[in-house]
Structure 1
Amino acid sequence: MYVVLGATGNVGSGLIEALRASGESVIAVVHSAEKARAIGYGNVEAVVQDVSDVAGLRAVFRRGRRAFLLNPPADPGTDTNREELKTARSIAAALENSGLEKIVVQSTYGAMQGDGIGDLTVLHEFERLAEASGIATAINRGAYYYTNLDTLLEPARQGFIPTAFPEDLTLPMVSPADLGKAAAARLASAASDTGIQYVEGPERYDFADVAAAFSSLVGRPVRVATTPRSELENSFRALGFSPAAARAYARMTEATLDGPELPPAPHRGTIRLQDHIAALG
């Protein structure tokens, strides 16, 4: 029996799809009855469970043999670093005396020790807490999600795509569906398969490639409109982010601009950036 957190999210959905095909019994942890009704059928049992409830989540973990751990994103109107660290610590606390033999942690390229740098520092802490549980821990660091680009379709129809990144910056990217498949493989692999694995798409891209893919979709030239580094924090605040969240996301973006992580031998998925963007139309 596998336990899957974040079962209806971008990565979790791909993982559940892969596990349905495997026939393995799955407990999908969701946060609403509506989501439970949508996902809970066949070999997938949906359980509504708040991951901040340590005792309740531990009881769910005890029903499984292995678990996929994804720390849910916080509302950007809050202090996202503070809230996401809370849930990371709750999930880790629930691992104690859970009886699990292996866990697979979803993390990110560029995860680093520190404080207040968005997902980079929150997920590094999540990795550390998971490993400290004493349970065999496999960590999948995913590249920049293609789904982060989905909101660019409408501006692309107007001839531009707004981004924090210059068009010539190489930025590893990946389909969340491929991340789900990679997570399924590590859930099923030997307990000795631990440590960090990097997961990205079949090749590396820059935002010139993104613009070209949108241009093909909308049938007109599309240019890259890069937000100046000095305006990053304001750009997040304009989207409704709290001051704390805007600062954290700006710092995370700045860390990427200073040099994205480029591992030499990542696990490569099969879904191309161009195919993901073409499907948006």
Structure 2
Amino acid sequence: MHIILGATGHIGSVLIRLLAERGEQVTGVTRNRDNVAQIEAAGATAAVVDVQDTDALRALFKKGTRLYLLNPPGNFTGDASADEKQSLSSILSALEDSSIEKIVAESTYGAQPGDQLGDLDVLYGMEQSLAMTQRYVTILRGSYYMSNFDMDLRTARSVGKIFTLFPVDFKIPMVAPADIAHFAADLLLEPKESTGLHYVTGPGDYTPHDVADAFGKALGNPVKAVTVERNKWKEFLMGAGFSETSAVSMMNMTDVTLEQNFEVAKTPKRGTTTLEDYIDNLVKNQEHEMA
């Protein structure tokens, strides 16, 4: 049986459906009982478990053989990195003496050790810890999620602007979470001995200007990308609800991306969802919900 963490997220919600459609036994994990119906509608069994509840998670892991490991995002209004490290510690502890044979773990482009590097440091630590487990492990390093722009729809619609920490002409590898789910499904179904490190991105790289244009096309009104000046990053992030600690981590991660201070995949796996298609679907889905 496949156990999927983050079963109602952008990746997990697609992944459980893909596996169920292929006739696989799937259990989707959520900490919110209100999500049970959504998981069951996708053809999976729902398990209501908080990943920081190590004992409950351990009991669940004894029922499965393959695991999709997505460490949940921390609360950015507090210390997001500390939250994520606590969740990861619980997941790794729960794996001990479990029946899980193969793990497909979601990591990120740029994963590396470093002080106050947020996800980059946390997920690098995850990779290193999994390398020492007695299980078959595959790592998926995804590029910048297109779903990060979901929160920009509000200002794109209301004031015709999106705000970014990047220069408007800075190209960034981007991927739709649903495309990651398709690759993850294939990797979970491979022989357990098939392991490795895979980079996953979309059909092309895009700039914030491209994002604004995609919003403008989908909304039928011009949208402009506006770069937040470096000396105003912290103020901007804290104004958006980030704690000072989480804001500093986000700033440091942005600097890593701007400096291209990480290994770049020469032959990444490429999804098929374009930025325009993703933004267009985002706008249509919101309009459907508002109708």
Tell me the TM-score normalized by structure 2: 0.92
Residue in 1 that maps onto 2:277: 275
| Secondary structure at 1:113 match in 2 | coil
Give the aligned residue type for 1:264.
K
Offset at residue 40 of structure 1 (A): 2.2
Mapping of residues 209-248 of structure 1, within 5 Å: 209-248=210-249
Is contact 1:77-1:242 (8 Å) kept? yes
Structure 1 range deviating more: 179-188 or 146-155:
146-155
Report if the CA contact (8 A) 2:16-2:42 is conserved. no
Amino acid across the alignment from 1:21? E
CA contact (8 A) 1:200 1:267 kept: yes
The corresponding residue for 2:201 is: 200
For the residue of structure 1 that corresponds to 2:205, the secondary structure is coil
Is the contact between residue 23 and residue 43 of structure 1 (CA under 8 Å) also seen in structure 2?
no
Identity %: 41
Task: Give secondary structure in 2 for the equivalent of 1:10.
Answer: coil
CA contact (8 A) 1:89 1:129 kept: no
Conserved 8 A contact 1:171-1:260: no
Q: Which residue of 2 aligns with 1:171?
A: 172
How far the C-alpha of 1:231 sits from its partner, in A, is 1.7
Q: RMSD over aligned Cα, in angstroms?
A: 1.5
Q: Secondary structure at the match of 2:181?
A: helix
* Structure 1 gap ranges (5+): none
Show CA shifts across 1:187-230 (max 9, x none): 01122322210111111111221122122122333222001122
Q: CA contact under 8 A between 2:17 and 2:42: conserved in structure 1?
A: no
Distance 1:35 1:207 in 2: 33
Provide the secondary structure at the position in 2 that maps to 1:224: strand
Query: 1:144-163 maps to which residues of 2 (within 5 A)?
Result: 144-157=144-157, 158-163=159-164
Of stretches 176-185 and 191-200 in structure 1, the one that deviates more from structure 2 is 191-200
CA deviation digits over 1:116-145, x for unaligned, max 9?
211111111111122221211101011111
Distance apart, 1:41 and its partner CA: 4.7
**Deviation, structure 1 residue 42:** 6.8
Is 1:79 the counterpart of 2:79? The answer is: yes
Question: Normalization by structure 1: what TM-score?
Answer: 0.95
User: In the alignment, what sits opposite 2:113?
Assistant: 113
Q: How many residues align?
A: 281
Which one-letter code corresponds to 1:280 in the other structure? L
Please tell me whether the aligned partners of residues 8 and 38 of structure 2 are also in contact (alpha carbons under 8 angstroms): no
The one-letter amino acid paired with 2:40 is: G
Residue ranges of structure 2 left out of the alignment (5+ in a row): 284-291
Q: Distance in 1 between matches of 2:174 and 2:34?
A: 31
For 2:56, the aligned partner's letter is G
CA distance in structure 2 between the aligned counterparts of 1:269 and 1:42, rounded to whole angstroms: 22
